[in-house]
Chain A
Amino acid sequence: MDYAALAPEIVLLAAAVLVLLGGSFLPRNRQIITRWFSLGALGVSAAAGLAGLAGMPEFIFSGSYALDTSTAVVRVLAPLATLVVILLGRHEFIGSVRESETYALLLLATLGTVVIGGATDLLVLVAGYLLASIPLYALIGLSRSGAAAEATLKTYLIGALFGVLLMAGVTLLTGLAATSSYQGMAEALSTAPVVAVAGGAVAVLIGLTFKAGAVPGHFWIPDASEAAGIAIAAFLTTVPKIGALVALGRLIEVMPGTVDVPLLVAILAVASMTVGNLAALAQNNVRRLLGWSTVSQVGYLLMPLAVITTSDGAALALLAYIGLYALTNLALFAVVACFPKRAELDDWPGVARAHPWLTGTLIVSALSLVGTPPTAVFIGKVAVFTVAWDGGMPWLVVVAAANSVLSLVYYLRLIRPAFRTPGPGSAPMDGSVPEAPRTVKATAAILGAAVLAAGVAVTGMWMATHA
Chain B
Amino acid sequence: MLSIILFFPVIVGVALAVWRGLPARAGGLVWLAATIIDLALLMVLTATAGTGVNGLKAEERVNWMPQLGSSYHLGVDGFSLPLLLLTGVIFVACAIWSLRENDRPRPQAALFLFLQTTCLGLFAAQDLILFFVFFDLSIVGMYFVIAGWGHGNNRRSALLFFLYTFLGSLALLLGFIGLYLGADPHTFDMVELSQRGAFTGTPVAAGFVLAAIVLGLAVKTPTFPFHSWLAPAHTDAPTIGSVVLASLMLKMGTYGFVRIAMPMLPDTWRSWAWVIVIVGIVSVIFGALVALVQTNIKRMIAFTSINHMGYVILAVGAAGVVGRNTAEAQQLAIAGAVTQMVSHGLITGALFLLAGVFYDRTGSYDLGKYGGLAGPAPRFAGFFAVAAFASLGLPGFSGFIAEFQVFTGSIGTVPWALLALPGILITAVLFLRAFQRVFTGETKGLSVGFPDLHRRETMALTVLMVLVVLIGIVPGPLLGMIAPAAELLVGNLQP
Contact = CB atoms under 8 A, between A and B. Distances in A.
Q: Do A and B come from one complex?
A: yes
A416 interface: yes
Interface of A: 367, 370, 372-374, 378, 382, 385-386, 389-390, 394, 397-398, 401-402, 404-405, 408-409, 412, 416, 419, 459-460, 463-464, 466-467
B173 A460 contact: no
B174 A385 contact: yes
B202 interface: no
Contacts of B171: 401
B137 A386 contact: no
A9 B167 CA distance: 44
B335 interface: no
Interface stretch (B63-71, B221-229, B389-397, B413-421): B63-71
Contacts of A463: 65-68
User: Chain B: interface secondary structure?
Assistant: helix
Given A373-B137, A397-B174, A466 B162 contact: no
Interface in B432-489: none
For the complex of A and B, the 9 pairs showing the least CB-CB separation, nearest first, are A373-B133, A401-B170, A463-B67, A405-B167, A463-B65, A466-B67, A373-B136, A374-B133, A386-B177
A382 B178 CA distance: 12
14 contacts: A367-B140, A372-B137, A372-B140, A374-B137, A386-B180, A386-B181, A390-B181, A397-B174, A404-B166, A408-B162, A409-B159, A412-B143, A460-B64, A463-B68
B129 interface: yes
B170 A405 contact: yes
Given A397-B177, A405-B163, A372 B67 contact: no
A405 B160 CA distance: 11
B234 interface: no
Interface of B: 64-68, 129, 132-133, 136-137, 140, 143, 147-148, 155, 159, 162-163, 166-167, 170-171, 173-174, 177-178, 180-181, 208
A416 B181 contact: no
A406 to B, nearest CB: 9
B162 A373 contact: no
A50 B129 CA distance: 30
Nearest to A455: B133
B217 to A, nearest CB: 16
A394 B148 CA distance: 37
Contact of A405 (B68, B136, B166): B166
A382 B133 contact: no
Contacts of A378: 133, 136
B173 A382 contact: yes
Contacts of A370: 166
A135 B155 CA distance: 44
Contacts of A408: 162-163, 166
B432 to A, nearest CB: 41
A404 B137 contact: no
A464 B159 CA distance: 38
Contacts of A409: 159, 163
Contact of A382 (B155, B163, B177): B177
A459 B174 contact: no
Contacts of A385: 173-174, 177
B110 to A, nearest CB: 11
A416 B133 CA distance: 23
Contacts of B129: 373, 382
B181 A389 contact: yes
Contacts of A367: 140
A459 B180 CA distance: 17
B65 A389 contact: no
A409 B160 CA distance: 10
A367 B139 CA distance: 12
Given A386-B180, A409-B159, A401 B173 contact: yes
A459 B166 CA distance: 23
A228 to B, nearest CB: 31
Contacts of B148: 419
A44 to B, nearest CB: 32
A466 to B, nearest CB: 5
A401 B174 contact: yes
A285 to B, nearest CB: 21
Contacts of A467: 66-67
Nearest to A386: B177
Contacts of B180: 386
Nearest to B158: A412
B170 A404 contact: yes
